[in-house]
Amino acid sequence: MTRPYPWRCGTCGNKSVGPAVVPFTATLKHENTVHEVHLEAMPANKCDVCGEISVGEDADTMARDKLRETLGLLPAEVILQNRKLLEKKQDELAELLRVSEASISHWENGRIQSRSSDVLLRLYFAIPQVRHFLQERMANPKLGEQVNEDWSAWRAELALPPNYPINNSWTTMYTVTNDNQNPYGLAS
């Protein structure tokens, strides 16, 4: 439980600190580039006498969320939700994507994924065939060494069953499904 306002100011000593909403700028580094993130309305505490401002613990999280949005990267909660929708544990997804289990955990808890990892995650979430490919690669490390010019060549390489959709079925294939029960992403 939070103490009732007003609080005593750590700077000027007056009992004059109350809740406020302030503009906030954070400096965040992502992939060796420094970004300034501006937030118009950050919850904070402000001293009415000396003007001292302190932002809450969630300021960093809000700044990272904003930077993700600016850079067009998947939000942390979307990564978490989609992984759970696909019934994959963190270590299972990490093994499929060839990243560390800690990376998955970090991405779901605020640390911002690289742009290339973001592409990998998007492909994995959006396209059942990508999930199938990565699953197959666990047993067949050579997958991806040859260029397949069309779907039939790809189907042959993976020895997919005859009912695997390869032509005009993209709309149905984009349906996110439980891969354990429906490994080929077929609409039911």
Tell me which DSSP letter residue 9 carries: P
Among 11, 25, 109, 175, binds Zn ion (CB under 5 A): 11
Q: Which is nearer to Zn ion, 9 or 134 (CB)?
A: 9
- In order of 24, 33, 177, 181, the CA distances from 36 in angstroms are 10, 10, 38, 45
Q: Which residue has the tokens 């963190």?
A: 90
Please give the residues from 51 up to 110 whose contact with Zn ion meets the rule CB under 5 A: 52
CB of 174 to Zn ion, least distance (A): 55
Cα 117–chain centre separation: 9
Among 20, 22, 50, 127, binds Zn ion (CB under 5 A): 50
Report if residue 12 touches Zn ion, rule: CB under 5 A.
Answer: yes
Q: Which is nearer to Zn ion, 11 or 169 (CB)?
A: 11
The answer to whether the CB of 18 falls within 8 A of the CB of 40 is no
Q: Which is nearer to Zn ion, 47 or 104 (CB)?
A: 47
CB of 53 to Zn ion, least distance (A): 10
The alpha carbon dihedral of 114, 117, 119, 125 has a sign of negative
Residues that bind Zn ion (CB under 5 A): 9, 11-12, 47, 49-50, 52
